[in-house]
Amino acid sequence: MTLQVKEVKEYLPHVVALWDVFDTLIPPNPGRLVETHVWNGKEILEKLHKIAYEVQLGEGVERKVLVPVNPGLQKLGLYTATHTIYVGFQIVLPGEVAGAHRHTPFASRFMIRGKASTTVDGVGVEFEDGDFITTPRWSWHDHTNNSNEPVVWLDALDIPVPKMLLSSFFEDYEGETQPVTGDLRARSASTGLTSSLDLSWVRGQSSPLVFKWKDTHAMLKDLGSFSDGSPFDAITLTYRDPRTGKEVSDTLGADITLLKSGLRTKPHRHTTSVVYYVVKGKGAIVVDGKEMSWEENDVVSLTPWLSHELVNDGSGDAILFSLNDRPLLKNTGLYRVEPAPT
């Protein structure tokens, strides 16, 4: 005798029949939970500069940040750009200090405008326009603006990942800033003096990475002098740890792309979600035949497994910085990419 669905629901609370929920548990394709969307960056930056003088850092205000929220996810009460990637525009005014804290989400920052200093687990770092820096998991970090102008950068974190895995932690530092001690791991390696402390949970799992814009831009220009790059991805550089060759984290990857004037990439699709920040230029992203325009400072989210192309409108070269969840998918065997079906 076949047990009817009604009987399962009636007599076994909190138990369902697999045939009722099979397509929900194992959908035939990734679906459209995350929407492709373009946020107007100039409007966000104008509003951010305005409220920066109205809101004070301190109790209840950990950081001054405006967060692009994906329309598809916001319906579910989620406040990130994709299901795996959070980005936010952060501002620090002259003389301000964004106090030290740490968290399990991996973090990185792309400087949009200005010059600031940050200390990551005792390692002092300065970064300016176009620089990209990382903050490893569980690393104490604070930011200071010692200049005479506001500084703005794009934060990028894998906040949804540890949250979904119920492994997200946050902790404030005992003081506003931490002491600058230098890289304890490098010091240990060079001196042969090892600590009995488990540094992976006392401090972050690796030292911060710093990618200078002058090096990044020079590489893009040199490649662009003789090539248009990949037909699908144009001229794209992937940020990697120079010590290991691995991407900047196990969950979050970062690329920078030069799209030469008038160039249009070929359509393809992949299981990764992507968030673009437009560093320079104008153009469009064509997703499943729908064209969405972007320009400097805009943020664009890309839905996984949708056919897409990047288009430069021909007014000059365009440069796009982007975040993706490619390392996470590769590490779990879920990464898939292919030309768009014809």
Neighbouring CB atoms inside 10 A of 328's CB total 22
User: What's the pLDDT at 1?
Assistant: 43
The model's confidence at residue 246, banded by pLDDT at 50, 70 and 90, is: very high
State the residue range of the domain holding 170: 22-339
Q: Is 129 helix (H, G, I), strand (E, B) or coil?
A: coil
Q: Is 256 exposed, middle or buried (0-12, 13-18, 19+ CB in 10 A)?
A: buried
Note whether residue 310 is domain-resident.
yes
Note whether residue 319 is domain-resident.
yes
Note whether residue 11 is domain-resident.
no
Residue 4 in this model has a pLDDT that exceeds 80: no
Percent of the chain with pLDDT over 70: 95
Note whether residue 205 is domain-resident.
yes
**Sequence-ordered list of residues with C-beta below 8 angstroms from that of 251, at least 6 positions apart, any chain:** 84, 106, 158, 161, 325, 327, 328, 331
CATH of the domain at 283: 2.60.120.10
Neighbouring CB atoms inside 10 A of 153's CB total 27
Note whether residue 59 is domain-resident.
yes
**What ranges in 169-290 are assigned the alpha helix state H?**
184-191, 199-202, 213-224
Radius of gyration (C-alpha) of the chain in whole angstroms: 22
Note whether residue 110 is domain-resident.
yes
Q: What is the pTM of this model?
A: 0.92
Q: Tokens for 38?
A: 């373009």
Note whether residue 7 is domain-resident.
no
CA dihedral 212, 314, 301, 273 (to 10 degrees): -80
Provide mean pLDDT across the span 207-230: 97
Cα distance between residue 221 and residue 27, in whole Å: 43
User: How many domains in the chain?
Assistant: 1
Residue 3 in this model has a pLDDT that exceeds 90: no
Cα distance between residue 197 and residue 272, in whole Å: 37
Note whether residue 83 is domain-resident.
yes
Which of 8-12, 24-28, 154-158, 178-182 has the highest average model confidence (pLDDT)?
A: 154-158
Encode pLDDT of 163-210 as tens digits: 999 999 999 999 999 988 877 777 777 888 887 877 666 677 678 999
Q: Is 300 exposed, middle or buried (0-12, 13-18, 19+ CB in 10 A)?
A: buried
Residue 7 in this model has a pLDDT that exceeds 60: no
Angle at 139 between CA 299 and CA 128, to 5 degrees: 45
- Is residue 279 within 8 A of residue 316, CB to CB? The reply is no
